[in-house]
């Protein structure tokens, strides 16, 4: 029994040493290539970030000078880390558009996108090297198993990213594992119950989501970058059923960020065929919306972008 | 697990304390999913404990029959009510509507308790074995509760017979270094199968089965192949973990899988796939039913078929219908079970003519090309039936199979997940090389410590670095 336990202990020690060493090595490698990985084309100065509502509605190929880095299920904590890294590496960025839909500030989103196993593993796997000590501590305290799982999985992701970076020149139009426009094929409008903002139950706000949204705002101010809160198009039946308490929370938080603009295009009317579900555009909707957005943003070349938005 | 393991072996001088500890651990483990499930498990276990005592103490055959039938009704009734009630009600409504009648039925809205099919079959084995005199009813309540709720096997088997588990529970376990370390190796291999192979294949399979109507036949074929590997690694992986976990506690459980895809025919497949279930049906349904019918039929032929074959056909169809039904309340499982039953019947019918033809053609029955072609045909059949098993309905499975075998079967399947294919192939190669062993990490003494440890450490690293998104085991739903 004693021999067995000693051997088991030795085995565990070897495994821990190996895994820790690999994590450290991958972290060091990816950080050494960080500048090359994160530097984007100097022509690009509009950044679209956030969750799936932006991921599926903004086709950055149809919007001049833009890059879409949004990803499904992305909590503001990760958007903060990504935007911060991008701003550090790209002084030419002028505007950041962050998804700001009604449900983004609810506790349900915090529980799934930020603290849930699936998304924590996925996000930490991709963005661990971008996270500050403060974020890492927050995540490890909230869900240690998922965080550690994400960290171990980040090893291979980091190695792959570093390996790919050697074949590229840098200054590209996309960043590896950073999200981006997703062509949504589905057409499930009739099946979508759209309950997330239609429930009459007690509304609980997410302190973490709100805190990190504020931090994104402060970060943009610090870099003299204009932050725009973007509410992409929603289906009319979705908008009609938004819980008034949630809508008020959404407005209150927006009003508490006076220096940032709100681009509320949730009421932008489109035929049903343009929706993947009640709150997401499919590829048809994305084309219409992206062209429209491009027109709004670049209606008059001489006009200031801020004026266009307002 | 580590806490249970250390505490358990700390009390190795007292079998009673060890059993009590295991029972508590089993119930904590089981109630982890939903504590309400535990109430049913305890109720069923207590009922079986009491009825088994009555059954064991019965002096007359009539009394024994009454207690046995009561036990079977309660166990199967609970399973039927919780698992099949809605299925049968809806089926009945559909059937009646065929004749133009519209009736309304009441369905129940209930979550199916985890592992109910497994512990019901354990309970049935216990009662049937006592009634046959194979084992005696155990008067120790803890022993019986532990037999029916032992945590490694409660959720997805192996369906370890009480006749072999109870004696191990009654006698003190001795710490055997070889057994315990082999158990850990088996757990490691099970984790590799589940986390690396099954969980990595899962997203692709889900995508293909979810949107099969818009995909090429070749992609659907790859999806079906992937699912075949996924279900094997998922279920067999769990069995390895369960057997390994029992091993490190000093128990020996039956092997549940023996490289089932490397077989020549369907009979061999069922000797190697989910062995604990197939042997259960063989011992408690197929053989007793065959004997029971053969006693009643005195003629040499029935409906122009030899009596022996007639009985085999009838009993096989009943057994495979119930095997399919055991898997779940869906027509897909019934069709899947019946297809396997029919192929087994066909296999039996063609055995003699085949022998004659081979002799005429002067082909040895162990000819390598013959073996390979038969093996591939059997595997193709298995893959097709897995499509039915995996589909949401029989209609969608027919659509899937039709599309799979359309002209687009030979089209370019598009981008395939390289990492997943690599892991699946790696698994199949290792499984083939080690097919004679209980699990792939059983090495010969000639393999040095350094190589063995390097393999173990590499496997741990692969599991941690490449593990797929955690998915529940497929067989938990059964």
pLDDT tens per residue across span A26-75? 999 998 888 888 888 888 999 999 999 999 999 999 998 999 999 999 99
Distance between first and last Cα of chain B: 24
pLDDT for A310 equals: 47
Q: Are strands A66-68 and B301-302 parallel, antiparallel or unpaired?
A: unpaired
Domain boundaries, chain B: 2-104+111-175, 186-219+226-257+412-478, 264-270+279-409
Mean of all residue pLDDT scores within chain B: 89
- Please state, as a whole number, how many other Cβ atoms lie within 10 Å of the Cβ of residue B169: 22
Tell me the average pLDDT across B254-282.
93
> Under an 8 A CB cutoff, do B460 and A15 touch?
yes
pLDDT > 80? residue B112: no
> Under an 8 A CB cutoff, do A156 and B466 touch?
yes
pLDDT for B468 equals: 73
By C-alpha distance, which of B245, B41, B228 is closest to B158? B245
Q: Is the link from the previous residue into A26 a cis peptide, with omega within 30 of 0?
A: no
pLDDT for B77 equals: 92
Complex-level ipTM beyond the 0.85 threshold: no
Tell me the average pLDDT across A262-267.
87
Contact in structure between B336 and B324 (CB atoms under 8 Å): yes
The model's pTM is 0.83
Closest CA of chain B from A99, distance in Å: 26
Confidence of residue B13 (pLDDT cuts 50, 70, 90): confident
* Span of B56-70, B115-129, B241-255, B461-475 with lowest mean pLDDT: B461-475
Q: Cα(B194)–Cα(B241) distance, rounded to whole angstroms?
A: 9
Domain region containing A139: 24-309
pLDDT for B266 equals: 93
Contact in structure between B11 and B21 (CB atoms under 8 Å): yes
Q: What is the CATH number of the domain that holds A296?
A: 3.40.50.1110
Tell me the average pLDDT across B85-95.
77
Residue A67's SS3 state is: strand
Q: What are phi and psi of B301, to 5 degrees?
A: -135, 150
* Residue A174, CA atoms < 13 Å, CB-side half-sphere: 13
H/E stretch holding A131 reads: none
> Under an 8 A CB cutoff, do B456 and A4 touch?
no
Chain A residues in contact with B461 by the CB 8 A cut-off are 15, 18-19, 22
Domains of chain A: total: 1
Closest CA of chain B from A32, distance in Å: 21
Active centre residues of B (catalytic): 327
- Could you say which of B181, B457, B464 has the minimum Cβ distance to residue A4? B181
> pLDDT by residue (tens digit) across B164-207?
999 999 998 888 999 999 999 999 999 999 999 999 999 999 99
Chain A residues in contact with B460 by the CB 8 A cut-off are 15, 19
Minimum CA–CA partner of B467 in chain A:
A153
> pLDDT by residue (tens digit) across B113-133?
888 888 999 999 999 999 988
Residues 6 or more apart whose Cβ sits within 8 Å of residue A59: A68, A181, A183, A286, A287, A290
> Under an 8 A CB cutoff, do B457 and A121 touch?
no
Percent of chain B with pLDDT over 90: 56
Tell me the average pLDDT across B62-88.
88
Chain B residues in contact with A4 by the CB 8 A cut-off are 175, 177, 180-181
pLDDT > 80? residue A309: no
By C-alpha distance, which of B167, B129, B128, B119 is closest to B19? B167
pLDDT > 60? residue B39: yes
> Under an 8 A CB cutoff, do B184 and A8 touch?
yes
> Under an 8 A CB cutoff, do A18 and B457 touch?
yes
Quick check: is A14 in a domain? no
Chain B residues in contact with A155 by the CB 8 A cut-off are 465
> Under an 8 A CB cutoff, do B456 and A118 touch?
no
Query: How far does CA B198 lie from the centroid of its chain?
Result: 16
> Under an 8 A CB cutoff, do A153 and B175 touch?
no
Residue B269 structure tokens: 């497949």
- Could you say which of B181, B456, B465 has the minimum Cβ distance to residue A152? B465
Burial class (CB in 10 A: 0-12, 13-18, 19+), A292: middle
Residue B324's SS3 state is: helix
Q: Which of A19, A25, A73, A184 to mutate to test the interface with B (most CBs of B within 10 A)?
A: A19
- Could you say which of A1, A3, A22 has the minimum Cβ distance to residue B9? A1
Q: Are strands A46-49 and A66-68 parallel, antiparallel or unpaired?
A: parallel
Quick check: is A250 in a domain? yes
Residue with tokens 């995540």: A139
Chain A residues in contact with B465 by the CB 8 A cut-off are 22, 152-153, 155-156
Provide the number of CB pairs (under 8 Å) joining chain A to chain B. 40
pLDDT > 70? residue A190: no
């Amino acid at each position: 029994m004693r021999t067995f336990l000693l051997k088991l202990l030795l085995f565990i020690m070897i495994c821990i040493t190996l895994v820790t060493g690999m994590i450290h090595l991958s972290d060091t490698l990816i950080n050494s290539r960080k500048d090359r990985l994160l530097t984007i084309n100097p022509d690009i100065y509009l950044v679209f970030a956030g969750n799936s509502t932006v991921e599926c509605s903004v086709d950055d190929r149809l919007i001049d000078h833009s890059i879409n880095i949004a990803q499904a299920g992305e909590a503001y904590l990760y958007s903060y880390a990504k935007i911060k890294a991008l701003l550090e590496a790209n002084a030419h960025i002028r505007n950041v558009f962050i998804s700001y839909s009604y449900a983004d500030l609810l506790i349900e989103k915090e529980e799934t996108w930020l603290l849930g196993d699936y998304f924590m593993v996925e996000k930490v796997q991709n963005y661990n090297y971008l996270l500050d000590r403060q974020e890492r501590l927050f995540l490890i305290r909230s869900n240690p198993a998922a965080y550690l799982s994400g960290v171990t999985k980040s090893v291979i992701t980091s190695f792959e990213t570093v390996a790919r970076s050697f074949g590229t020149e840098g200054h590209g139009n996309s960043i590896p594992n950073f999200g981006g426009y997703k062509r949504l094929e589905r057409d499930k409008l009739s099946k979508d119950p759209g309950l997330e903002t239609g429930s009459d139950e007690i509304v609980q706000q997410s302190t973490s989501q709100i805190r990190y949204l504020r931090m994104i705002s402060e970060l943009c101010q610090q870099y003299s970058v204009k932050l725009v809160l973007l509410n992409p198009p929603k289906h009319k039946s979705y908008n009609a059923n938004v819980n008034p308490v949630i809508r008020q929370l959404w407005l209150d938080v927006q009003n508490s960020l006076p220096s940032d603009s709100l681009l509320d295009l949730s009421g932008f009317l489109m035929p049903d065929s343009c929706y993947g579900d009640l709150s997401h555009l499919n590829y048809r909707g994305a084309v219409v919306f992206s062209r429209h957005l491009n027109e709004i943003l670049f209606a008059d070349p001489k006009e200031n972008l801020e004026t266009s938005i307002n | 697990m580590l806490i249970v393991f250390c505490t358990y072996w700390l009390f190795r001088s007292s079998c009673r304390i060890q059993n009590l500890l295991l029972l508590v651990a089993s119930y904590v483990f089981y109630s982890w999913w939903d504590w309400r499930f535990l109430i049913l498990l305890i109720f069923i276990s207590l009922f079986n404990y009491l009825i088994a005592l009555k059954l064991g103490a019965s002096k007359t055959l009539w009394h024994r029959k009454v207690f046995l039938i009561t036990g079977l009704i309660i166990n199967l009734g609970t399973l039927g009510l919780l698992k099949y009630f809605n299925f049968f009600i809806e089926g009945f409504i559909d059937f009646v509507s065929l004749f133009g009648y519209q009736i309304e039925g009441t369905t129940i809205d209930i979550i199916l308790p985890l592992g109910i099919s497994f512990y019901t079959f354990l309970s049935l084995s216990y009662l049937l074995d006592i009634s046959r005199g194979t084992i005696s009813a155990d008067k120790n309540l803890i022993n019986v509760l532990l037999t029916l709720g032992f945590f490694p096997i409660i959720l997805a088997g192996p369906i370890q017979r009480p006749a072999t588990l109870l004696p191990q529970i009654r006698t003190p376990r001795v710490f055997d270094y070889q057994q315990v370390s082999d158990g850990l190796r088996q757990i490691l291999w099970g984790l590799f199968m589940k986390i690396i192979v099954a969980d990595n294949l899962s997203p692709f399979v889900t995508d293909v089965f979810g949107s099969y109507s818009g995909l090429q036949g070749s992609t659907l074929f790859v999806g079906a192949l992937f699912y075949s590997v996924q279900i094997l690694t998922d279920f067999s992986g769990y069995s390895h973990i369960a057997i390994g976990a029992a091993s490190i506690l000093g128990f020996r459980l039956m092997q549940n899988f023996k490289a089932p895809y490397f077989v020549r025919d369907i009979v061999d497949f069922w000797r190697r796939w989910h062995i604990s279930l197939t042997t259960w049906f063989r011992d408690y349904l197929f053989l007793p039913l065959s004997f029971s019918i053969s006693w009643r039929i005195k003629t040499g032929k029935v409906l122009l078929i030899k009596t022996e074959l007639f009985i085999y056909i009838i009993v096989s169809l009943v057994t495979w219908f119930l095997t399919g039904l055991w898997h779940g309340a869906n027509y897909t499982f019934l069709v899947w079970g019946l297809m396997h039953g029919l192929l087994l019947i066909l296999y039996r019918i063609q055995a003699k003519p085949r022998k004659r033809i081979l002799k005429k053609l002067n082909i040895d029955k162990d000819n390598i090309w013959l073996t390979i072609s038969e093996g591939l045909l059997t595997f193709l059949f298995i893959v097709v039936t897995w499509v039915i098993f995996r589909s949401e309905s029989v209609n969608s499975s027919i659509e899937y199979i039709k599309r799979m075998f359309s002209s687009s079967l030979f089209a370019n399947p598009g981008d395939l997940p390289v990492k997943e294919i690599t892991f699946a192939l790696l698994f199949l190669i290792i499984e083939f090389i080690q097919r004679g062993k209980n699990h792939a990490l059983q090495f010969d003494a000639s393999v040095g410590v350094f190589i063995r440890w390097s393999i173990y450490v590499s496997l741990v690293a692969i599991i941690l670095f490449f593990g797929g998104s955690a998915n529940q085991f497929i067989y938990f739903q059964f």
